[in-house]
């Protein structure tokens, strides 16, 4: 079984009604593992958005874990500013239990930045920190975050093997993920192959709408 990672960058209009399809799909696949990335304002925002608050409560009540979005500008953003965002997330939306770190660096030299970020998140009670460099990371970054997205691009990778040419990731698949966007057709054969390399997987048409094959994707991942 693999975990559906989904960047839920869709405004929860009508106090979360636009997210109802996700709850319904998860109820239909009760064994499915999911984590939804939520992003009110390029991070937690400055104050509670009632629609987000209601929608996050709905997902939480359905047992759907959520990760709060923060960004690091590939390590150029001051760490104190990122840690401030972690604190704001915990205050405004306490049901968010993980952190999604976008624009993660993948060049040697910034490992301590992400180690400290992860330590700060854990001290605030977050259960997981997922980094998103969107491309492979050197082994020196292993363990600086709990999991890392090693592919984020338009369309599927050329093959599952292309995700892991050196065989590094498959031996620690629980710590890695991939995001393919701009995908119109669900390729179940590729998903089954990629699930041997990465634990967390997103396939979508766009970040701003739930794809028509969402239920099929969730069912496929839960059946692996």
Can you spell out the DSSP letters for 62-108?
TT--EEEEEE-GGGTS-HHHHHHHHHHHHHH-TT--EEEEES---ST
Residue 167, pLDDT score: 87
Question: Tell me, what's the pLDDT at 125?
Answer: 98
C-alpha 45/C-alpha 52 separation (Å) is 11
Query: In the 8-state DSSP scheme, what is residue 42?
Result: S
At 16, is the pLDDT very low, low, confident or very high (cuts 50, 70, 90)?
confident
What integer is the mean pLDDT of 104-132?
98
- Residue 18 belongs to domain spanning: 3-222
pLDDT score, position 15: 76
* Neighbour count for residue 39 (Cβ, 10 Å): 22
Cα(94)–Cα(88) distance, integer angstroms = 9
142 secondary structure, DSSP code: B
154-197 confidence digits (pLDDT tens): 999 999 999 998 888 999 999 999 999 999 999 999 999 999 99
Half-sphere exposure of 17 (CA within 13 A, CB side): 3
Cβ count within 10 A of residue 188: 16
CATH code at 213? 3.20.20.60
At 48-73, the pLDDT tens digits run 999 999 999 999 999 999 999 999 99
d(CA 3, CA 1) in angstroms, rounded, equals 7
Domain count of the fold of the chain: 1
């Amino acid at each position: 079984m693999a975990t559906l990672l989904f960047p839920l960058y869709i405004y929860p209009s009508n106090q979360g009604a636009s997210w109802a399809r996700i709850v319904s799909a998860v109820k239909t696949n009760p064994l499915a593992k999911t984590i939804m990335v939520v992003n009110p304002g390029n991070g937690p925002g400055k104050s509670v958005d009632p629609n987000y608050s209601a929608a996050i409560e709905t997902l939480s009540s359905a047992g759907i874990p959520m990760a709060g979005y923060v960004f690091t500008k590939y390590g150029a953003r001051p760490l104190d500013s990122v840690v401030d965002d972690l604190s704001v997330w915990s205050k405004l939306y306490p049901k968010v239990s993980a952190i999604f770190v976008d624009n993660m660096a993948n060049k040697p030299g910034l490992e301590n930045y992400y180690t400290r970020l992860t330590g700060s998140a854990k001290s605030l009670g977050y259960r997981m920190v997922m980094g998103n460099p969107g491309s492979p990371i050197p082994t020196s970054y292993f363990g600086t975050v709990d999991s890392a997205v090693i592919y984020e691009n338009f369309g599927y990778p050329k093959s599952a093997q292309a995700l892991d040419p050196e065989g590094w990731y498959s031996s620690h698949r629980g710590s890695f993920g991939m995001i393919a966007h701009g995908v119109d057709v669900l390729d179940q054969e590729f998903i089954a192959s990629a699930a041997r390399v990465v634990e967390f997987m997103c396939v979508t048409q766009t970040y701003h709408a739930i794809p028509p094959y969402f239920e099929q994707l969730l069912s496929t991942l839960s059946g692996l």
